[in-house]
Every structure is written in C-alpha cells, then in structure tokens.
C-alpha cells in the first residue's frame, strides 16, 4: 500500500484555527484514499490505493462546536518523494466540503463561485456585490477578524480622542478666525503642517493639482473654451512683460481644470442651513520660475454678469475666496469620483468577476490575487465611511454619478492606462509632476511583471483566445459589471496576450498604486479645512469686492463639519496593518519560474523606491505616496 503524507496549513490570521472535526481524502484518476480525520492541525498520514495521478484533495469540516476554519493550503508528499501543493485560502463555515486542485494547472474542473451575485447600487455606475453588510459577503472575501467595518467605525469614533477634538465637536458655532482651525490640528503630519503655512500662496495652490490628493484633473489648454472668456488684459500682469496669453497657449504652457461634472447638482440642507456646490473653471500657467500658478477662476460654468472671472490682481480676499471655491469642488470630485468610483468601485467589478468566473488555481486568478488581495477589500462596505462624509458635504452623490458617464467612458483611462491618459491630457511636459513620473515607473514594473507571468502560462495568442475561463471572466466584467457603461472601453473578448497584460496591469495598478496616490494624502491635504473645505455654507459672491473675512468664515465649514472632515480623512488615510506591494505571504504560485518573476518585480520596486528617495532627499515638501514601501497591495480600506 502506498503512503501519502499530508501537511495542512491553517491560516496565520486571528481565529483561523478550529475545534471542529476536519477530514481529508486524496483523489486520483481511478481511485481515492479512504477519508481520514485530521487529528493534528497541519499534518496527518494517509494510507490507501496507489494513485497514478492525484487530481484533487478533498477537505471536509463537520460541525461540532460551530468553529470556522481558514485553510491556506494542503501539501501532499507522494510515495516517490515528490510534493504537490493544493492551494485553498478559504474559510470553512459550518458543515462544508471543498475539493482542491493542484496549483500548477491552468485548465480546471474546480467550479468558481457563481453564488456571488451582481447588484445595481446606483444607475450609471459599475455594479457592485449583492451584499447589504459584511455578513452577506462570502467569508473568503471579507476582511479578516482584526480588520472589519466595525473596527473602522471604532477608529472614526476614537479619532476624536486621538486628535484631541472631542470637546470641540460639540460646539454649534462657526469659527471666528482662520487661525482657529488650528485647534483641530494639534498633531499635523509634516505635509499638513506645510499646508497650514503655505495654503494661501498661488504657487502652492497650483502645486496641488500636480502632487496633491487628486492629481488627475489638470489638462493642457490650447484654446480657451467659450464658456470661460478670459482676455489678454486680464492675465497680462500675472504672465509678465515678456510674453502673452496667446503665445503661451500656442506653446502649450496653459492648463485648465474644469469641474463641469458638478454642474446642476442641487444645494442640500444641513441643520436647516443651505449648502452650496459650484462647478468652477480654473486657468493655470506653467511659469518658468514660479511653477504652476493660477491665472483666472470662474466659480460657475456659464459666463454672466453675476459670475465674474476672478484674478490674482483682484482684492486679496476676493481671490482667496475664489480659490476656496475651486478647492471645495476639488474635494467633491476627489472623494466621490477619483477615490470611490475610479478605484474602489471600478476594481470591485473585476474582483466580483474573478470570484464568479475563475477557479483559485487559475494563473489569472492568482496573478490578481497576490496583488489585489480580495479578502482585504472592503468592497461595498466602503460606503459606510463615505456616508459620514456625505452627511457633512451633502453633495448628492447620485447626481454626481448620474453626470459621470463621460468620466468613465474615456476608453481605458478608468484603468489608468497611463501613457495614453497623459497624452490625452497633454501633461507630458509639466515640470515637477511627480505623480506622473512615479506612476509611469510603477506602471512599467507592474506591466513587466504581469507580462512575464502571462508568457509562462500562454505560449501564443491563440492560447488566450481558447481559455474559456478568461473569456467568461472579461465577458462578465463588461456585460454585467459595466453594463450601464457601454462605452467603457473594454472588449468583450481578449484576443491576444498583449491585451490580457494591459487589462491585468491596469487592474493591479489601479487597486494598488493609483489608490495609494489618491487615498493616502487625504489627511495631509484636507485636514487644514480652509485649504480643502468639505462644504460651503454661503453662495459664491455675484460681484467682485464683496468678500470680507466675515463672509469667508460664514462660508467655510462650521465647527462640527470641520471636526468630521479631519476625523474621516485621518481614518481613511492612516497606515493600515497590511501587506505592501511586492510582498506575497500567501504562496498561491508554487512554480519556481513564477517566483523568479516575483523576485525581479521586487528588485524593480526597490529601484523605484531608491529613485524616489533620492529625489526627495533635499525637498521640504516630499512626494512619497507612490514609493513602493507606502503602497498597499490592494484597496485595503
């Protein structure tokens, strides 16, 4: 009788072990072993028929104490001394049987999780998982016990203590002066402290479009839009004596940020007081010495006598308030579109399709899994945190999403296909655009890594076309996940290896690097409330010369809203106990060739990290959000 020795690895996370009974069976082509109980977690001996080829290992947990169990993998030592690994990485809940396939196979008999269903959350945006709470999400794809929505809620509540703002929150009064906002920033981050000291400066206002928490809005402007009638005389003083607006437009040194996506959103009411949202336009100039500086601001879209164009040469408070309206619009677009929609909700579509269509042993499942770590995604439950924010901003998220179809239909840019995106926005020549530079380095490293993995498992384009599971996966993404976005830009079929690599690299970059660039700077850039106000309590001035400090203080968020803004941005951008990009504690790939590519990827990430450190060495205002040691392996909050 042949002897097979099994090593069963229980998960390393809290509560992964179980006191219930677990049984295992080794299944071959013709025969199978007898089912044996695992007396000791991690190891048992099996005696049975000599199996010509092991196809499956079957694990069964029988309900005794009702204690869930998380299994990482099963390693089988065969009679000839070789080992086979059968990855699992799943929770066993109640009475449950799972049949595992060896890790090295591409074609698979293992069924994927079609029990995971799609749900329409809001029309006109990507579908989400059919779940009202974390308990509705399959256990394998939830946060682990030590990191769940209850923990995030606790962090939000506790942040009022950690940030020393508990007593301030209860006040119902407005702030008396700009300096009073400092009392809710007793321990600012280095960047937040820099923001407090420099936020009024025009060069710093422009810098945030490049390297702040929403660096994807700026576009090159060769021709001024009719709705923004800026004239030469208006901006000549800012441009200087040696050039003209027409000359700089032709040279490609004029840029535009247009928040037209916010047009038509109705005002809301907080505590019986109306709140206001506008859709401003901001014209900027890449000055050869001063950097990117604002030239003109129009607070609302349509030119009108009661919608003046504000200029740096206007009275100081007029210009300051105009910039605040731009930064307020930035907050709305940033949180709702750049953050929630274009990272969390877009990536969730691919997550759900993967759960539904790809078995755990499929290389495309694994090449995504080791990067995006689906179990650490908050998925639909992210809306819990945004709910607190929307109670403050009251921006009618549904109206923003309704207006957002064009924002996501711009062919692949939702997946951060970077060079194409940068060319379309015309930002390749912008100086000190560190977000752009670091994105491209990171993209190249991810794309190279994914390309190497795809080449290992697909020898030709025909292999990709014939992989029914991959074709079902992309069809599920397009036909279901992005059903309400028919022009999203993804094909219903993947015709070659290059297309597969591009899509996978886009998903991986978006859920790791892009999310880090967008999410991790929230507290840095938004905790000094006057720099990025979450809500505005007075309408914009219809004429120049009306801005006073009293008007500014009455327009900016009140004390409770400011406290909530600081607390939420702190919770959402704080460093999580997580796995960083390039680190893979779960061995889904067991092939030596794959591990070689992982090693190369890690080396590439180290080079990127070194180049970022060298650039930041002598800079007071450092840009580190895309340093690999700062990038989580997934959308982890």
Which residues are annotated as part of the binding site for Fe cation?
339, 344, 515, 637
- Using an 8 Å Cβ cutoff, are 435 and 465 in contact? no
Q: Which residue has the tokens 């400090």?
A: 549
Q: Count of H helices and E strands in the chain?
A: 22, 17
- Using an 8 Å Cβ cutoff, are 359 and 108 in contact? yes
Look up residue 180 and give its DSSP letter: G
- What is the rounded (10 degree) CA torsion for 124, 130, 134, 137? -130
Closest CA to 437 of 580, 585, 171, 615: 615
- What is the rounded (10 degree) CA torsion for 363, 365, 370, 373? -170
User: What span, in angstroms and rounded, lies between the C-alpha atoms of 24 and 17?
Assistant: 16
Q: Which residues are annotated as a binding site for Ca(2+)?
A: 17, 39-40, 67-68
User: What span, in angstroms and rounded, lies between the C-alpha atoms of 592 and 599?
Assistant: 10
382-393 and 149-162 are packed helices; what angle lies between their axes, rounded to 10 degrees? 40
- Using an 8 Å Cβ cutoff, are 47 and 1 in contact? yes
User: What span, in angstroms and rounded, lies between the C-alpha atoms of 299 and 67?
Assistant: 59
Torsion sign over Cα 567, 569, 574, 579: positive
User: What span, in angstroms and rounded, lies between the C-alpha atoms of 442 and 628?
Assistant: 8
Enclosing H/E stretch for 473: helix 468-476
Q: How far apart are the first and last CA of the chain?
A: 52
- Using an 8 Å Cβ cutoff, are 127 and 121 in contact? yes
User: What span, in angstroms and rounded, lies between the C-alpha atoms of 319 and 299?
Assistant: 11
User: What span, in angstroms and rounded, lies between the C-alpha atoms of 561 and 168?
Assistant: 11
Task: State how far the alpha carbon of 28 is from the alpha carbons of 33, 53, 103, in Å.
Answer: 8, 5, 15
User: What span, in angstroms and rounded, lies between the C-alpha atoms of 533 and 528?
Assistant: 8
Q: How many angstroms from the chain centroid is the CA of residue 104?
A: 30
Q: Which residues are annotated as a binding site?
A: 17, 39-40, 67-68, 339, 344, 515, 637
User: What span, in angstroms and rounded, lies between the C-alpha atoms of 73 and 355?
Assistant: 18
- Using an 8 Å Cβ cutoff, are 341 and 413 in contact? no
Look up residue 488 and give its DSSP letter: S
- Residue-wise DSSP of 314-340: S-HHHHHHHHHHHHHHHHHHIIIIIII
- Residue-wise DSSP of 340-360: IIIIIIHHHHHHHHHHHH--T
SS (H, E, C) 382-420: HHHHHHHHHHHHCCCHHHHHHCCHHHHCCCCHHHCCHHH
Look up residue 148 and give its DSSP letter: S
User: What span, in angstroms and rounded, lies between the C-alpha atoms of 326 and 536?
Assistant: 11
Look up residue 632 and give its DSSP letter: B
């Amino acid at each position: 009788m042949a002897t097979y020795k099994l090593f069963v690895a229980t998960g390393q996370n809290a509560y992964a072990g179980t006191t219930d009974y677990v049984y295992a069976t080794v299944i071959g082509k013709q025969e199978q072993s007898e089912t044996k109980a695992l007396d000791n977690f991690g190891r048992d001996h099996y005696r049975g028929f000599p199996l010509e080829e092991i196809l499956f290992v079957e694990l069964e947990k029988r309900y005794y104490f009702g204690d869930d169990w998380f299994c990482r993998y099963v390693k089988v030592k065969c009679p000839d001394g070789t080992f086979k690994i059968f990855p699992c990485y799943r929770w066993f809940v109640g009475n449950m049987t799972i049949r595992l396939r060896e890790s090295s196979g591409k074609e698979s008999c293992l069924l994927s999780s079609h029990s995971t269903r799609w749900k329409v959350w809001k029309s006109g945006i990507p579908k989400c998982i059919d779940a009202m709470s974390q308990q509705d999400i399959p256990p394998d794809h939830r946060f682990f016990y030590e990191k769940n929505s209850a923990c995030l809620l606790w962090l939000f509540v506790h942040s009022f203590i950690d940030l020393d703002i508990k007593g301030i929150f209860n006040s119902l009064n407005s702030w008396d002066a700009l300096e009073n906002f400092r009392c809710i920033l007793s321990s600012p981050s280095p960047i937040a402290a820099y923001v407090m000291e420099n936020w009024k400066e025009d060069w710093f206002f422009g810098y945030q479009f490049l390297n702040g928490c929403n660096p994807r809005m700026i576009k090159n402007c060769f021709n001024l839009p009719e709705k923004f009638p800026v004239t030469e005389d208006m901006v000549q003083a800012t441009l200087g004596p040696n050039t003209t607006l027409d000359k700089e437009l032709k040279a490609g040194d004029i840029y535009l940020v247009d928040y037209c996506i916010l047009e038509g959103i109705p005002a809301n009411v907080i505590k019986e007081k109306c709140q206001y949202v506008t859709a401003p336009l901001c014209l900027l100039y890449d000055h050869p010495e001063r950097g990117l500086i604002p030239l003109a601001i129009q607070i609302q879209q349509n030119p009108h006598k009661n919608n003046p164009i504000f200029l740096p040469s206007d009275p100081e408070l007029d210009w300051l308030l105009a910039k605040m309206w731009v930064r307020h619009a930035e907050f709305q677009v940033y949180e709702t579109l750049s953050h929630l929609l274009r990272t969390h909700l877009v990536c969730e579509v691919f997550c759900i399709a993967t759960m539904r269509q790809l078995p755990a042993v499929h290389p495309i499942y694994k090449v995504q899994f080791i990067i995006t770590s689906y179990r650490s995604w908050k998925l639909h439950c992210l809306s819990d945190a945004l709910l607190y924010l929307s109670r403050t901003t009251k921006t009618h998220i549904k109206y923003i999403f309704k207006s957002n179809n064009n924002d996501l239909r711009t062919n692949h840019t939702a997946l951060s296909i970077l060079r194409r995106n940068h060319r379309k926005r015309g930002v390749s020549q912008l100086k000190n655009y560190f977000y752009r530079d670091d994105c491209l380095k990171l993209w190249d490293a991810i794309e190279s890594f994914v390309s190497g993995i795809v080449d290992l498992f697909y020898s030709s384009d025909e292999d990709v076309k014939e992989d029914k599971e991959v074709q079902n996966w992309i069809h599920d993404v397009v036909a279901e996940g992005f059903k309400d976005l028919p022009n999203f830009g993804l094909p219903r079929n993947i015709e070659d290896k290059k297309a597969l690599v591009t899509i996978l690299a886009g998903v991986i970059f978006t859920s790791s690097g892009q999310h880090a660039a967008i999410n991790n700077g929230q507290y840095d850039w938004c905790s000094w409330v006057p720099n990025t106000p979450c809500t505005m309590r007075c309408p914009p001035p219809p004429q120049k010369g009306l801005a006073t400090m009293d008007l500014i203080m009455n327009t900016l968020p009140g004390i409770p809203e400011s406290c909530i803004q600081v607390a939420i941005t702190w919770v959402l951008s704080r460093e999580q106990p997580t796995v960083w990009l390039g680190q893979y504690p779960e061995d889904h790939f067991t092939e030596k060739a794959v591990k070689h590519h992982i090693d190369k990827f890690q080396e590439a990430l180290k080079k990127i990290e070194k180049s970022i450190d060298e650039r930041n060495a002598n800079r007071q205002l450092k840009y580190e959000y895309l340093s690999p040691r700062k990038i989580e392996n997934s959308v982890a909050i």
